Amino acid sequence: MEAIWALLLPIVQLMAVIAIAIALVSMLVGLLVALLKRYSSRHILADYSLMVALRILLGFTSEKPTLRERLIPVSAQNFIAMVGTAIGVWALIVVLSVMAGFEADLKGKIVRHSPHITVIPTLDMASASGDEQTLSGLVTELSKIPNVTAVEAFIEGDAMVTSFLSMSPGMTIRGLKPQDSLENSWLGDSTTPASLKALANPVYAMSDRELGFKGLERADSILRRPAVDGNQEAVKDDETQDDDTEDVDDEDTMPEITAKEAPGRVLPGILLGAELANSLGTAVGDEVTVIVPDGDVGPTGVRPRTRTYRISGTFVSGMYEHDLKTAYINYEEAKNLFLLGSANRVALMLKDIDHLDKVAPVAKTTVKQTTGGEIRTVAQVNKSLFSALMIEKIAMFLVLGLVILVAALNIFASLILITMEKTRDIAVLRSIGATSKGVKRIFLALGSVIGVVGIISGLILGLGTCAYIYWVGISLPSAYYLRELPVAVQPLDVVLVVVAAMLAGLLATLYPASSATSKAPSEGLRND
């Protein structure tokens, strides 16, 4: 029974939400229709077409109207058409605004944790004999470009990371200078100050046992020990500690112990993404091995170059792929890891990302005139992602637009029924002097009023729902990397939805308006 209820509960909840939505839309449509009936008196209407259209739409079908006719003074077909249009407009505004919120949030995270413009210098600058002065000159020239707030050199390369439990897929390692603008921009709000401190000084990531201690105090001499090469090991595979041990008394059951103090290796620090650290099964203070594909040449040929690092901390950017495939190390350590004489990347951060298209050509010209190389913008690097978001948004608009299309078909069917029921009235109007164009305007006005009432209702509910999501918030599961549902109302999207709904309603009235004047007045009055 519990299993069946678990399956039925989401369906019941969905049906309840749909019922509440239809009830809200119906109440709002009924309110607008009642206001329209009350304030659309004959003397305020300058055009008889609109007056007759409202009379047809809002006129009672009997001398003593029922309670339903007083509450909703329109036919069931017209009311359903209004409700359908309102639901379609409501759904489109909410869905497009939520998707715009997700897109804005994702773009904001990408802009905060990635260079807005990346300069890739020529190969001779990234070689082991790279010229730091030439690179510094490039940074100086790029800093003069308007709307550029920061220009910093950094190192970026591909690698793999392994731990005792697991191995990471291909990832990117970035080498940053301590406390520069890139570190503050990319890591300032995604990690802790202690992690950045341990990245700059790896000894802060070591435990008391590894540092060595007497009683409850740390050994200051070890605290001042400089960081050693990441390749250096306490004990090599082909060596033993026999020379460092001394025998104890035979009566003593203690095994052989070392006569020297524990070395307490101070390894270079590395900052891992939270998802990467979880996949490796590691925590702060653990050791990991970084493998670089362009390795060293040994007796057996080229082999991958490896270095051991200590995890200084983790960072959370809010992007799963970034947290899974990115790590940061010290700038000087990155030069040693990738065998570089200078930085192989230069990052430009802009004051306003909207100026990207204007700054990129200027930066390209500056690079060409100084050191040579190529540039990549954040839009080019993430082009496939942004294209996928745009395609998804268009697809959602088309799918939910079917709701408006169904509502337009309801308007079409309703007007066809009205033309069949009002054949005699149309003939009378034609007989007393109404032109064919005037009769067409009556039905065009009738369909327009039905559509406008639905559009206004959907617009009010859609914007109201977006305001509720923005100010009150809707919590999301942690799997979405967002605490609350984002929403961003785009005026262009709202205008597009309103125009699409109005066009659908207008197209639905063209054929009924033409068919209303297809018969001669004598045919409409033949049986009278």
Lowest mean pLDDT of 98-112, 249-263, 410-424, name the range. 249-263
Q: Is the pLDDT of residue 41 over 80?
A: no
For residue 206, what pLDDT is reported?
66
Lowest mean pLDDT of 142-146, 259-263, 443-447, name the range. 259-263
Residue 209 confidence class, pLDDT cut points 50, 70, 90: low
26 vs 140, higher pLDDT = 140
Do 216 and 306 lie in one domain? The reply is: yes
How confident is the model over 334-367, as pLDDT tens digits? Answer: 888 888 888 888 888 888 888 888 888 888 888 8
What's the per-residue H, E or C state across 310-344? EEEEEECCCCHHHHHCEEEEEHHHHHHHHCCCCCC
172 with 158: CB under 8 angstroms? yes
Residue 64 confidence class, pLDDT cut points 50, 70, 90: low
For residue 327, what pLDDT is reported?
92
Lowest mean pLDDT of 57-66, 369-378, 415-424, name the range. 57-66
Do 304 and 197 lie in one domain? The reply is: yes
For residue 208, what pLDDT is reported?
53
Do 361 and 401 lie in one domain? The reply is: no
Domain membership of residue 8 (yes or no) is no
Do 48 and 155 lie in one domain? The reply is: no
Q: Is the pLDDT of residue 126 over 60?
A: no
Domain membership of residue 356 (yes or no) is yes
Do 342 and 460 lie in one domain? The reply is: no
Residue 65 confidence class, pLDDT cut points 50, 70, 90: low
Domain membership of residue 289 (yes or no) is yes
Do 279 and 157 lie in one domain? The reply is: yes
Q: What share of the chain has pLDDT > 90, as a percent? A: 4
How confident is the model over 383-411, as pLDDT tens digits? Answer: 888 888 888 888 888 888 888 888 888 88
Q: Is the pLDDT of residue 249 over 60?
A: no
Do 488 and 367 lie in one domain? The reply is: no
Domain membership of residue 421 (yes or no) is yes
* Phi and psi torsions of 313, nearest 5°: 170, -175
C-alpha dihedral, 391 to 394 to 395 to 399, nearest 10°: 180
Q: Is the pLDDT of residue 123 over 60?
A: no
Q: What are 217's strand-pairing partners? A: 214
Q: Where is the domain boundary, 332, 355, 381?
A: 381
Average pLDDT over residues 236-262: 45
Domain membership of residue 73 (yes or no) is yes
Domain membership of residue 254 (yes or no) is no
Query: 151, 110, 78: which is closest to 412 by C-alpha?
Result: 78
Average pLDDT over residues 48-65: 64
For residue 426, what pLDDT is reported?
74
Average pLDDT of the chain to the nearest whole number: 76
For residue 48, what pLDDT is reported?
67
Query: Is this model's pTM higher than 0.85 or not?
Result: no
Do 97 and 138 lie in one domain? The reply is: no
Q: Is the pLDDT of residue 304 over 50?
A: yes
42 vs 429, higher pLDDT = 429
Q: Is the pLDDT of residue 124 over 70?
A: no
Neighbouring residues of 167: CB distance < 8 A, sequence distance ≥ 6: 160, 161, 280
- The domain total for the chain is 2
Q: Which domain holds residue 308?
A: 115-234+260-381
Burial class of residue 159 in the structure, from the number of CB atoms within 10 Å of its CB (0-12 exposed, 13-18 middle, 19+ buried): buried
Do 398 and 373 lie in one domain? The reply is: no
465 with 90: CB under 8 angstroms? yes
Domain membership of residue 6 (yes or no) is no
Average pLDDT over residues 29-49: 61
Query: 447, 192, 155: which is closest to 292 by C-alpha?
Result: 155
For residue 328, what pLDDT is reported?
92
